[in-house]
Every structure is written in structure tokens, then in C-alpha cells.
Structure 1
Amino acid sequence: MTEIRGLEAWMTTLAEQELPTLNAVVREICELSENEKCRAEDLTKIILRDADLTSKVLKIANSVHYNPSFASIKTVSRAIVHLGFDNLRNITLATTLIENFLQGKPKIHLIQSLARSFHAAVQAKAMVPFLDGEKKEQVFIAALLRNISELALISTGRKVVEDFIDARDKEPQSEHSLAVEYLGVDTSLLSRHLIKDWALGDLLSEACDNHVHSSAAARAVNLGNEISTYIHRGIKSPELQKLCQQTASLCKISFDEARDQVLLMADEASVIAKIYGVEVLIGALPDPAVIEQKEMTAEKPDYLFQQQLNQIHKAMLAGEGFPKITQLSLASLHEGADIARVAILVVDHKSKMLDVRYVIGKGTHLWRQQIKINLEQLRKGELLHEFLRNQQPLWYQPAVAQKDIGSLQMMGAKGAIFLAPLSLNKRLMAIAYADAEAGNLSARQFEEFQLIANQLNLMMRFSAGS
């Protein structure tokens, strides 16, 4: 295979190869994001041209993450009204881009690069509410496409690209010199040419230029990209500490608030990947339990659970969305109530499946990817079957009475288990799950678990009524 080196050689190679990035939907959505006069009807037409895309977009729009009111969304035009133009445009682009790249049997390098881009987009989007200036609504798309040259290079299947990626991942700070060594061209230069040729937008061009006086939106794009690059080194690493400080400065929030936001978005990326149906990315996304590197301390106050419950109430009063309230709720049980592992399993009534959506605790990160429970295959008498029959909070204590835990064996629990229903208008929407991993749970923990489940039930009822 002929060696490819230099800007012109790589641009020629990419031009001759049909890349999934460049399909009509991606191009048109990028054009929409640049056109302030575009109408919702334009986006509707793009989506409706593809029946499969329409189905996927509507499924995502109806998920509790984007639709906590549970109001049925059956049309694309209704989805735009309910979710907003920007949200639906982002969903459409991300779904199209990722699924096109993942066709067939993608190599690990492609999965890792897509996961990094997806995580960068989620991190950058979280900064948008704090920004001033133009084009802040385009941040998600620009961050998602920030490393488009890397995705394009990987798609060529050239070994030299994989060798470059491996070397770069070990020394991300040396990306420029490594790119010149392996490819004969700086990837930033290649990106700028591709963005111009493919007309992917002014904000993306500005982010790649990375000038000192870049706009707040471009800085958010680059910050999201850098966070996704260094996140695996841990929140306490010098690189992440610096990036958290930069996030705090850009968003005009405290360092601790910026740090919490970065951690929350690391988990959010996995939640959204699950909702988008691209579980294959989850294993390559950061595990919050690892990157946070928590230190066990005896100084934890007795009233930590009450403190965290107060934070939940403040978030609710501030109008925070269901995803953040849920994540704060799980944190209160894991940290404040000292419960080893906690999860929310969403009921998909159409497929009769339980999908793990929100998690916290050691070893839970991959539950979203690995665990699927078919409700129609539950055995009579097993724990989950009995719980669904009664739909009342349940405390399973193996030390008191051994029972068949059946499908819940997938969770790997060897000790006590809590279950509670999350229902709306007498219809089960999700199940709150908690376990001690291999130990016991106390009566106080059961009360705190039920309290949080009741909070989430009230939140769903409030959202549905608003």
C-alpha cells in the first residue's frame, strides 16, 4: 500500500473515499445551524425523508431524559415544539453521524474517537447556559465535529493512522509533532482544510484556529474537546485541574461547581449514548467512579444525606431537569446513605424490556451496555417478578430468607437488595434499584431509599402536570 504523507496527499485520499461523515443529512444540518433564518419546517423535511431516522428521533424525543412530562410525541413537528429546534437538530445530527460511522464492524480506534467526540459535545453543551454572544446554540455540533479529521483518517483503514492514534493517546500534548512524524501533516491543518471544503460551519473553523481572542462559544468547543482528551487521567490530575479552572472562568462559576459539572457530564455522556441506542460507545466513555478517584474518609458528617437532600430540593426549586435531579438523587443514596450501588432501570413498555439508565457505584458504569432484562421472560416466584406483581418497596435480605433473585443476578449482587417503583398515574415507568454489593443494608438505609424514590415519584408527577 502506497505511503501517504502531507496535506495534499491526505486531502486527495479523503476526497476519493466515500466517507460516512459526508452524507446529505450531516451537510444539511450543518447548513441549518449556520442559517439564522431557517425554519423548523426545514429540519422536519430532512428528518422525514428517512423513515428509520424519523423513528429513532421520535424514540429519543419520547425518552424520560428529553421528555420528563411523558406527553406522547408522535410527530417530528411536535418534537420540535416540545424539545426545541436546537435540541432536535443536535439529536438528529449526532444520531446520523454516529450510526453512519458505526455501520459494519467498526475498529476500536473508531469507537474510541467517536466516544471522545460525543463526550466533548456533551461537556461543551453544558457550558452553553453560562455563555454570552452569538452562535452559542451551535456549540454541541461544533464540538461533535471538532475532531472530524481524526474520524476521517481512521475511516481510511490505514495502519499508519492507527499507529499515530496509539502514539498520540500516550502523549496527547505531543499531537502536533507526532502527526507530522507519522502522517507528514498536522491534524489541525488537515481539519481546517476539511472543514472549509465540507462547509461545516464558521464556529468549527474558529475553534480549530484556536486564537487567543476566540469567542466564548469557540472556547467552549475547545474546552469540551480538551476535557474529553484528558478525562481518563482523573479529576485530580494537573491537566483536569487546569481545565476545571478554565471552565470555571469561562462559565463564571466556582472551581468546585466546574469540577462537579465536568464529573456530571462524564456520566451524562453515557446516559445519552444509551438513549441514542449506541451502547457500543459506553465502554470507551469515561467511568465517573474511576475519574473521580474518591478518597475514603472518616470525616463524613452524619448529616451528609440531609445536606444532599437539601441540594436536591434546591435543584428542583431552580427548575433543573429530570436528569440532574436523578443523578443528584443517586449520589445522595451512594454517598449520604452509604449504599454501595444504585441504579434507575427504565421500563420500555413497547419492547417489554428494563433498560439500565442512571447508575452510581463501583462497577456500575458498564451496566448500561451489558444489562438488559426481558420482562416477559421473568420466572414466577423470582424476586423481580414478585416485586412487579406487588409494586411496593422491597427489601431483600439473604441473611433472613434466601430467595430466587433470577434476572437480578445480572447485577452481580451477593448481599441485600432494595427495589422501589417509580410510577405515573398507576403506570410503572421505572424501578429504583440499590444493593450492598456483598453485605447488608440497614433499616435507616431502606427509609432513605424510599424517601428518594418518593421524591422521584413526586418529580415525575410534577413534570407531567406542568
Structure 2
Amino acid sequence: MKVSNIENSRYKGVEYWTNRISDQEMPALCSTVKTLEKLAKDDVSSLSILGKSVMHDNALTSRILRVANSVTYSKGISQVTTVSRAAVVLGFDTIKNICITAKLLSSLLEAEGLSEGVYHRMLKLMAQAFQAAMLTKMLLKGYDEELQEEVFIASLLYHLGESAFWSTGCAETLVLDNKLNQCDSSQQMNQVVREVLGTTFEQLSLGLARSWGLGHLLIKSLSQPDQRTPEIRSIFLANKLSEILCQNSPNMAELSKRLQQTAGMLGLEVDELKGRIIRCHKATKTMADAYGARILVEHLPDPKYLQEEIHESQPAPVIYVSDANRQLQCLRELTQCALNKQDFNQVLSITLNGILTGVGVDRCCVLLMAPNRKSLIPRIVHGEGVEQMKASFKISLNSTKSVFQDCISLKKGLFVDNPSSSKWRLFMDDDIKAITSATGFMLAPLIMDQTAIGVVYADRESSGRRLSEGDFTSFSHLVDMANVCFTTSTK
């Protein structure tokens, strides 16, 4: 185990871990990736540089050529024997991504000084990521090869921050491993990660992606995971499916939902999709072997759950009640975000978590202004009915009389306590009534550089409970603190 001072680790944050992993823990991988990403695919000299960047590493070169000559990539011609020749035959982007994948797997698998628990976590996460990458590529099979390679590497690196952290073997890995073993929910796990690292694994992945220049698609998939483009959606769903199938006792209702979403995106029946995933799992085993990562095979997601009958029964919805301690905890986290000028998405995530679990609502979301400022579009949604809310909550701002328009123009929070009352009736058309809660809802503006960029919405639609003035005060306090974070981040 590597020695490390873990005091005040919560204040280290994403910048500290990004620099530490890049400069101290994985400098060789960082250097190789940066070199490869800078090479222009239309530059003839890049082929020579590509070969030279890996030629000193015989094991890496061997892995690259073995993958290039595998069934997946072979073009049916004689075997290639040099990296530069492989680039000519397979295409620059393909061989570049094979190089990155091979270097990433070797760097992580050869990590030293890890405890048994930490090493097992890292292997399981690597296997999950590798399966997700193969699934993503499979989901976009009808698209051009260049895009397939781009989504493969983006999906593989989706959890780079967590994989890289575990590979460091520092004192914090032991502390976090022990704390995670005592958690009962994903929410507790996320909180523990923040306490130990001072940031989230998602933000660390994003920090490394930006620092290493890992391409716009990976950065967009991490910073804007709710985008509905085929590439971003495929990366998101493939990682969700891989994560669920990696669990010892997966939530079958959740698996059913993700399978239906994926099948719907592809225009397939769910049974046909299951067959494709099972075939993809077999191909993943072969590819892992080609990359010299056979140890990952036993940790790959288990497709046996796809062959079991998935029941459609949904678990009872979770009803959150007002929790002053949880509100205070989130306000403290937002204060640290303001001091450290944290990422926009992290601020929004903490704010929504505070509203959902602290104020005690059933659902809440961030709606951001469209580029033409004529509508509000859902960006992040928490709570009940997430998918339905994302699909339905698109608010037009063309009407001069609208609670959403007033919230934006007045830069003021609104508590719509009784939507059917004369006070609010004129400010709500049929479209707004159809998507908002009949028992009341809350709105507050998001403000950056003195300009309203969107609103936060919250209600108790599914449980039918009423909101109070106290709930609105707590809700407003959290959003106000988020706006403080946005103000400090621009200074």
C-alpha cells in the first residue's frame, strides 16, 4: 500500500486527484493517451509517430497486433505485423483506440500494492466497463465504423476516474473500500465517495477526460448524460445494463426497464435484444483474451439473468419526508462547492438531492433555457417517473402569462400552492396543467451572471401530499445557494 496523508481529503477535490493520477500514479498512460489523441488522422506523419509511440513497449505492441488480427477486426487479408501497417489496413481511428484500450488495460492490471478488496473492486469495474464498451458498439452496429470506435472508447473510459483511483493503491483506497462495504444504498455510497475524495467519481472521470484530451464524445457523455442523441443514449444504456448485470442480485424491475428502453431505441423486441446481448457477451470474452486481459472474463456481467423471466412488478415508490439534517448537509456541501468553484453539474446534483431527500418531494428537475430562449428543456431529473418527466417537461415560453415565464423574467421563486385557484388559473394553460401537480408545486430561477438560465421545479405528484410554506422556504434556500455557487465560479 502506498503511503498517503488522508487528512482533509474531502477538500482535495477533482483537481487534486486529476493531477495526482496524471503526474504521479499513471504518467505513462497519460502521456501515451495525450500523444495519440493529438495525432491528426489525415496527417501522413501521424502513422509513423503512432508506431514509434508504442514500439518501445513489446508487450503493448503484441497486444495491439493480436487484437488487430482478431476475428472482430480482421479484414480477411494476411496478418499485419506492424502497428503502422495495422493503422493503414484498419484505419487510423480504429488502431488509435486499440492502442488506448491496450495501454489502459495493461496499466490497470499491472497496478501494484493493492489490497485484495481494492484489486477485486478494480477488476470488477474494468470488466463492467469492457462489457459496456462492447455493448455500446453493438447498439450502433448500423452506423459507420469511425463512430463505433469512438463510442467504444468513450464507453470504456466512462468510469476512468474510479478505475484510476482504485489502481493508485493509496491509503484512501483502503478507507473508501472499507466504508463502501458498510453502505446499504447507492446514495450512501455516493456520499461516502464525496467524503473521502472531496469529489465524485463522475467528476473525476470528467476531469481526467478534459486533462488528457479524451475527445468530445466522452466529455459530453459525462457532462450531459441526458442528451437524447444515439451516441450518448447508447453509452448511457450500455453502462446501465452492464452495471445491473454485474450485480450479485440485480434489480429485475430495473433490468426490465433498461431492456425496454434499449429495445425501443433500436426498434427491436426485447427478446431479440436479449439474444444480441448474449452474443455480445461471448464476443467480449474473445476480445478480452486478445487484449491479454483474460483475468477479466470471470468478472464480466453475467447474462444468465437475461434468460430468466423478468416480472413487471415495480417496487413501491420511496416517499421522502422533510429532513432538516439532510438539508443542512447539502447546504454545507454547496458551501464547499462555492469555495472550490465546483463543476456546474455537481452543484445541480447536490441541490436536487437536497430538495428530494431534504425537503421531501416526490420529484424535482432542472429545466434549462433552449438556445433560442423560447422554451425550457429538462436537464437533470430526480425522483419518481424520471423518464416520463424527461419526455413531457418541455415548457414553451411564448405565452406572456405563465408561471414559468414569470419565474424567469422576475428572477423570483414561486410557490403555486393551489393551481386551480383564481390566483394561478390565468398563469397556467392546459399544457402546463397536464404536466404539473394538481396539489401544488414550487419553482425557483437558476441565475448565472445576473441572467436567468433556467428553473428548478419540485412537487409531490405521486404521493398527492400538499406542500407548505416551510417546504418552499427550504426549497428556495437550496436553490439560492446553488446560484451563489454559479456566481463564485464565474469570478
- Asked if the contact 1:267/1:286 (under 8 Å) is kept, the reply is no
Check 1:16–1:89 CA distance in 2 against 1; reply closer, same or farther (3 A cut).
closer
Question: What is the rounded CA distance, in whole Å, between the counterparts of 2:75 and 2:144 in structure 1?
Answer: 28
Partners of 1:244 and 1:104 in 2: how far apart?
A: 35
- Output the CA distance in 1 between the equivalents of 2:67 and 2:12: 40
Distance 2:280 2:8 in 1: 38
Could you tell me how far 1:104 is from its partner in structure 2? Answer: 4.9
2:131/2:300 contact within 8 Å kept: yes
DSSP 3-state at the match of 2:9: coil
- Give the secondary-structure state (helix, strand or coil) at the position aligned to 1:72: coil
Superposition map of 1:155-234 within 5 A: 155-157=167-169, 158=172, 159-163=174-178, 165-166=180-181, 171-172=185-186, 176-233=190-247
1:26 is the counterpart of 2:30: no
**Do 1:130 and 1:251's aligned partners in 2 also have CA atoms closer than 8 Å?**
no
Q: Deviations over 1:395-444 (max 9, x none)?
A: xxxxxxxxxxxxxxxxxxxxxxxxxxxxxxxxxxxxxxxxxxxxxxxxxx
Alpha-carbon separation, structure 2, partners of 1:162 and 1:236:
23
SS in 2 for 1:23: helix
Superposition deviation, residue 26 in structure 1 = 1.9
Structure 2 residue 68 is matched with structure 1 residue 66: no
Give yes or no for contact 1:135–1:203 (8 Å, CA) kept in 2.
Answer: no
Q: CA deviation at 1:228?
A: 1.6
Offset, 1:83: 3.1
Cα pair distance change 1:154/1:164, threshold 3 Å: farther
| Counterparts of residues 209-288 of structure 1 (less than 5 Å) | 209-233=223-247, 237-288=252-303
Please say if residues 62 and 72 of structure 1, whose CA atoms lie closer than 8 Å, have aligned partners that are also in contact.
yes
The 1:213–1:73 alpha-carbon spacing in structure 2 relative to 1, beyond 3 Å, is closer
How many Å apart are 1:242 and its aligned residue?
A: 1.7
Deviation at 1:99, TM superposition (A): 0.3
Q: Which amino acid aligns with 1:245?
A: Q
The answer (yes or no) to whether the contact 2:13–2:199 under 8 Å persists in 1 is: no
**Inter-CA distance 85–242: structure 2 relative to 1 (3 Å threshold):** farther
Q: 1:30 to 1:227 in 2, by over 3 A?
A: farther
Amino acid at match of 2:110: Q
Q: How does 1:315-394 map to 2 (within 5 A)?
A: none
Query: Residue 57 of structure 1: CA displacement?
Result: 1.7
Is 1:5 aligned with 2:19? Answer: no
In structure 2, what is the Cα distance between the partners aligned to 1:71 and 1:125?
A: 25
Asked if structure 1 preserves the Cα contact closer than 8 Å seen for 2:159 and 2:205, the reply is: yes
Say what the alpha-carbon RMSD is for the aligned residues. Answer: 3.2
Counterpart contact for 2:67–2:73, Cα < 8 Å: yes
Q: CA deviation at 1:211?
A: 4.5
Corresponding residue for 1:103?
110
Q: Secondary structure at the match of 2:73?
A: coil
Contact 2:244–2:251 under 8 Å retained in 1? no
* 1:2 aligned counterpart, secondary structure: coil
CA 1:294/1:70 → structure 2, altered by over 3 Å: closer, same or farther?
farther
1:13-52 alignment, distance < 5 Å = 13-17=17-21, 18-20=24-26, 22-32=29-39, 37=42, 41=47, 42-52=49-59
CA distance in 1, matches of 2:260, 2:30: 38
* Aligned equivalent of 1:141: 153
Q: Please give the per-residue CA displacement for 1:109-148, whole angstroms capped at 9, x wherever unaligned.
A: 2212211221111111112224589955411111111111
Kindly name which structure, 1 or 2, has the bigger radius of gyration based on alpha carbons: 2
Aligned residues: 291
Tell me by how many angstroms 1:185 deviates. 2.6
Distance (whole Å) between structure 2 residues aligned to residue 98 and residue 286 of structure 1:
17
After TM superposition, give the deviation of residue 98 of structure 1 in Å: 0.6
> Quick check: 1:232–1:291 contact (8 Å CA) kept in 2?
no
CA contact (8 A) 1:117 1:144 kept: yes
SS at match of 1:213: coil
Letter in 2 for 1:162: D
Secondary structure, in 3 states, of the residue corresponding to 2:141?
Answer: helix
